[in-house]
Amino acid sequence: MNNPSPKSGILSISPYQAGKSQAGKAATRIIKLSSNENALGSSPLAVAAIKEHLATLHRYPDSGSLGLRETIAKTYYLEASQIVCGNGSDELIGLLVHAFAGEGDEVLFSEYGFLMYQIYTLAAGATPVKAREDNLRTSVENLLAGVTQRTKIVFIANPNNPTGSYITKAELQYLRDKLPAHILLVVDAAYSEYVEIADYSDGLELVKATQNTVMLRTFSKIYGLAALRLGWAYGSAFVADILNRVRGPFNVSALAQIAGIAALQDTDFLEKSRSHNHTWLAWVSAEISKLGLKVHESIGNFVLVEFPTTAKNAKAACAFLMEHGIIPREVGGYGLPNHLRITIGEQTENEALIETLKTFMQA
Ligand SMILES: *Cc1c(COP(=O)(O)O)cnc(C)c1O
């Protein structure tokens, strides 16, 4: 039999492995710490807005997500016309690559950068190029050294998933200054609402000051709306126009739009989520360190833990946690087979995590 043949690059894609949601059969309680979801659930205002909308599911969504874009614009002091909403920020990553890179072009990102950059690059027939990291942190110098005549896009997740590390505002500015103007810089700020440090940037000021920088944001993380698939891009009027040409006419569901509007107004939930993460990120990091494991400093809602290469390795730790109903994220697919990424959960989940890891390390 002859299979139809896909475009070049497609067969070299390893399908994205999402965080698992099933654990050991013996476990009475499942603690899912594998997808960086919000420990506190979803914005209650968003859930209420969805319930109210259930009578009108026969209607198509607003194809321009106008109400949502206006609410985002008001919240962040932006131009609504330069916002493009997507079916998760994942969709926007894909649309940017499809619009700006193809066969013979290169898309540049950091060694342990978010996996979707690689997947969409290969899907577009373009060539992924990775810049070596220093100690699991993006190296701006190595990124710049990776630029060639063929580079079309540079992706940077700030903070990065799965490492949790970030580059400073000054480094980001330096990167933009040194990148040739025709290269699109995409700053993926999926965790920015969790960030509390002063020298951080989500890229917004670069979007405002340049024509060739895009910021990506999502409702999947701090707003707790991962199930709805909602993200947005902010770029120049030109880039927004390009995205609007290539996106599907109804790429954002009506429920996602309505929930997004409500979630943006739910400052209470946002504050609670941020404050919960502030407390428990520090606690989980400190407790894991006390067990003799290396925890990479994170500014997101997750930690990357390095295990020894002995019997107490990441694979064994993962199996042990799973048996006890706790699901971490394996990151071998990122080239980090000795690490596990673990999301900050709610209090009792974090406590169960530490107790179980302690038992594993002492066994
Ligand atoms: C979770 C995540 C996203 C994807 O978010 P969606 O809006 O759910 O598609 C994008 N980038 C990074 C770095 C992420 O961790």
Q: Which domains does the chain have, with CATH numbers?
A: 10-42+268-362 (3.90.1150.10), 44-265 (3.40.640.10)
Rounded distance, CA 139 to CA 135, Å? Answer: 9
CB within 8 A of 83, min separation 6: which ones? 69, 72, 73, 232, 233, 234, 240
Q: Which two tokens stand for residue 47?
A: 């859930």
Ligand 1 centre distance from Cα of residue 290 (Å) = 30
The average pLDDT across 129-147 equals: 97
pLDDT score at 237:
97
Instruction: Give backbone dihedrals phi and psi of 201, rounded to 5 degrees, phi first.
Output: -140, 140
Residue 300 scores a pLDDT above 80: yes
Q: Is the CB of 231 under 6 A from ligand 1?
A: yes
Neighbours of 186 (CB within 10 A): 26
Per cent of the chain over pLDDT 90 is 92
Residue 3 scores a pLDDT above 90: no
Q: Is the CB of 109 under 6 A from ligand 1?
A: no
Rounded distance, CA 181 to CA 351, Å? Answer: 49
Rounded distance, CA 213 to CA 96, Å? Answer: 11
Alpha helices (runs of H) in 237-312, residue ranges in sequence order: 237-246, 254-265, 267-290
Ligand 1 centre distance from Cα of residue 304 (Å) = 16
The average pLDDT across 344-348 equals: 98
Residue 28 scores a pLDDT above 90: no
Confidence tier at 26 by pLDDT (50, 70, 90): low
Rounded distance, CA 217 to CA 194, Å? Answer: 12
Return the residue whose CA atom lies nearest to atom 6 of ligand 1: 88
**Segment holding 73, helix H or strand E:** helix 66-76
Ligand 1 centre distance from Cα of residue 92 (Å) = 10
pTM as predicted:
0.95
**pLDDT, tens digit, for every residue of 237-286?**
999 999 999 999 999 999 999 999 999 999 999 999 999 999 999 999 99
Return the residue whose CA atom lies nearest to atom 14 of ligand 1: 190
